[in-house]
Structure 1
Amino acid sequence: MTHTHADVPSMSVDIGTNSVNTLLDVPGEPRRRHTYYTRLGAGLEDGGALSEEAMGRAIAVLEQVKAEASEAGVERLVATASSASREATNGAAFLARVAGVLGVTPTVISGAEEARLSFVGALTAEGGEGGQLGRSLPGPVLVVDIGGGSTELAVGRVEDGGPSVTASASLEVGSVRFTERYLHADPPLPEELSDCLSVTEATLDEVLVTNEAFGEAATLVIVAGTAETIAAVELGRWEDGVLHGMRLSKAQVEDVFRTLATEAAEDRRHNPGLPAERVDVIVAGCCILVTIMRRMGFGECVVSIGSVRDGVLREAGDRPVASPSLGSD
């Protein structure tokens, strides 16, 4: 039996390097989104493997996700996996375990596809007074998704047929990856921050010099955990309905960066709006965002609560897919 997203209870599950992100859509009810922190990519280097401990954390979370889906009567579940799963030498074995839990095999998406889905999700998600951002922002729009293992960039416009991407790129810079690689002192040493910033800029430059489309962007939209956390710290609380569509000036982003980068972790965790699970990786995430804003000359950015999970669920509704097996194992 097949269904379309618009007609039946549906869920998207995005398995990332730092977290598992879900979006539950039950017809007639507000969409429910949830982030579970797993740190799946902890200790993962190029050519390395996911640790048993990290995989165990992720599987435990996915068992909770399956229970939520079953309770909601989900008939359509779509799962994706990104940076950590596609890089790890044991990624396929991990995803086989995931399939045993969820009843569907996650699709491992490329960096380019992750960037495109983030673009679609960012500009079509609805929340609070922000509504759908796509048609209200001057184009071209650059959407930046700072993840745990990679950062995705996509530039394009929203047209009558929906979001359309002109160019996309995936950078091997991420909040978990760069925390483990560069930020070892507590608080980080100036030279550690300098390394993190300079490597991010060099990696970004490789993309900017090869594709002029990125430099033509008129509006910067930021999505995912790092973006929402920076906005929440500036706001002083985490509230999706307020964060969606929130504008942050470059000065505000720089101020949050300076504050968090100069605090020890124990002090940093007392900032209102900062989730405890992001205390140790948010500084690297800040490094990435401030580098992008400095290098590309953006005076402000706009926050969207939409991301890959929103893009996946939107596009899944355009085609029939067999219902997952959500019964007890």
Structure 2
Amino acid sequence: MSRVAAVDIGTNSTRLLIAEGDQERARASIVTRLGEGVDRSGTLSDAAQQRVLDVLAGFRATIEEHRCEHAAAAMTSAVRDAANGGAFAARVEEALGFAPRILSGDEEARLTYAGATYGRDGDFLVIDIGGGSTELVLGGTGFHVSTQIGVVRHSERHLHSDPPTAAELENLTRDVHEILMAHVPVRLREIRVNAIAVAGTPTQSAAIDLGLDEYDPNRVEGHILTASRLRELLVQTAGLKLAERRGITGLDPERASVIVAGIAILLEVIDCFDLDQVEASEHDILWGLARSTTEGT
């Protein structure tokens, strides 16, 4: 059974998974904010690039320590949107010792669905809310879309006050709603399937709901978030200043700046598909990337 390392260089965080078959051997997630300012400037800043490269140096040491036989790295919205994304990819290859892939939105959606649904029977709606884009995949229909909706992107666009004003939140939700209406056909919004939500917004929301003093992925995995509970969490988080939000039990302080936008976006997706609840999952694009690497797909 081969050991594989998967690295996800996202818009908000840089993450590592080392897996052997279905067993997780190591995991790390560090908020690096690579996409900071990209929506406005169209480029990755020097400071943001360096934050990621510093983290990757540590990841390389971990990968070597675990003697991984396979390794893959993927870069998503921030890099594919940035004019200097290709140049940054070259720096990432030097830092890791192997070439990363700049994923298209379609590839990101496919790998996320593969990771979230592995070992499950049936079709699902998989929701992946990232820093710069949100991927939606509806199993059994062939539908998948990568939208320009993201927690970093939409926080920077709309949430300028501390705490955000009601008008700012309204503008954010209207923006997200309009994008979803433009990208999700009406007939698909009416299909009833179970939904799995991956990435930081649902897992952090689950940790808050569970009141976890220390993050426990085993308790977060499969936790049900109802629409009504998410609305309560939105009111709670949006009503606090950033410094106060950092102290919420269960919330990683580094994600406090984007959790309001994240929950608002998740609620808009839930409303779009007329859902009552979603299941939070730790099995995301990292698992899809790891399995595609070992399976050669």
TM-score normalised to structure 1 length = 0.86
Which of 231, 245, 254 is 2:231 aligned to? 254
Pairwise CA distance, 1:215: 3.4
- 1:66 to 1:151, Cα distance in 2 relative to 1, 3 A: same
Between the aligned partners of 2:105 and 2:187, the Cα distance in structure 1 is 19
Task: Report 1:45-64 matches (<5 A).
Answer: 45=39, 48-64=42-58
Instruction: Name the aligned partner's letter for residue 72 of structure 1.
Output: H
- 1:251 to 1:28, Cα distance in 2 relative to 1, 3 A: closer
Between the aligned partners of 1:273 and 1:206, the Cα distance in structure 2 is 34
Pairwise CA distance, 1:29: 5.9
Which of 101, 109, 116 is 2:110 aligned to? 116
Between the aligned partners of 1:32 and 1:235, the Cα distance in structure 2 is 23
Between the aligned partners of 2:273 and 2:189, the Cα distance in structure 1 is 9
TM-score normalised to structure 2 length = 0.95
Between the aligned partners of 1:214 and 1:307, the Cα distance in structure 2 is 23
Between the aligned partners of 1:180 and 1:46, the Cα distance in structure 2 is 9
Pairwise CA distance, 1:166: 1.9
Instruction: Name the aligned partner's letter for residue 155 of structure 1.
Output: L
Q: Does 1:23 align with 2:6?
A: no
Q: Does 1:156 align with 2:131?
A: no
- Whether the 8 Å CA contact 1:146–1:224 is kept in 2: the answer is yes
- Whether the 8 Å CA contact 2:70–2:293 is kept in 1: the answer is no
Instruction: Name the aligned partner's letter for residue 101 of structure 2.
Output: T
Between the aligned partners of 2:206 and 2:170, the Cα distance in structure 1 is 23
Pairwise CA distance, 1:186: 0.5
Between the aligned partners of 1:29 and 1:268, the Cα distance in structure 2 is 34
Which of 318, 322, 326 is 2:295 aligned to? 318
Structure 2 stretches of 5 or more lacking a match? none
- Whether the 8 Å CA contact 1:167–1:214 is kept in 2: the answer is no
Instruction: Name the aligned partner's letter for residue 127 of structure 2.
Output: V
Q: Does 1:41 align with 2:17?
A: no
- Whether the 8 Å CA contact 1:22–1:33 is kept in 2: the answer is yes
Task: Report 1:68-217 matches (<5 A).
Answer: 68-124=62-118, 132=119, 134-135=120-121, 139-157=122-140, 166-209=142-185, 212-217=187-192
Between the aligned partners of 1:144 and 1:28, the Cα distance in structure 2 is 22
* Bigger radius of gyration: 1
Cα deviations by residue, 1:78-125 (Å, 9 ceiling, x for unpaired): 11110001011100110100001111111111111111111111112x
Structure 1 stretches of 5 or more lacking a match? 1-6, 125-131, 158-164, 321-329
Mean alpha-carbon deviation: is it higher for 41-50 or for 22-31?
22-31
- 1:215 to 1:315, Cα distance in 2 relative to 1, 3 A: farther
Instruction: Name the aligned partner's letter for residue 215 of structure 1.
Output: E
Secondary structure in 1 aligned to 2:38? coil
Q: Which has the higher contact order (CA 8 A, sep 6+)?
A: 1
- 1:111 to 1:47, Cα distance in 2 relative to 1, 3 A: farther
Which of 216, 220, 223 is 1:239 aligned to? 216
Secondary structure in 2 aligned to 1:31? strand
- 1:145 to 1:29, Cα distance in 2 relative to 1, 3 A: closer
Q: What value does the CA root-mean-square deviation take over the aligned residues?
A: 1.7
- Whether the 8 Å CA contact 1:208–1:215 is kept in 2: the answer is no
Between the aligned partners of 2:93 and 2:59, the Cα distance in structure 1 is 13
Corresponding residue for 1:325?
none
Pairwise CA distance, 1:31: 3.2
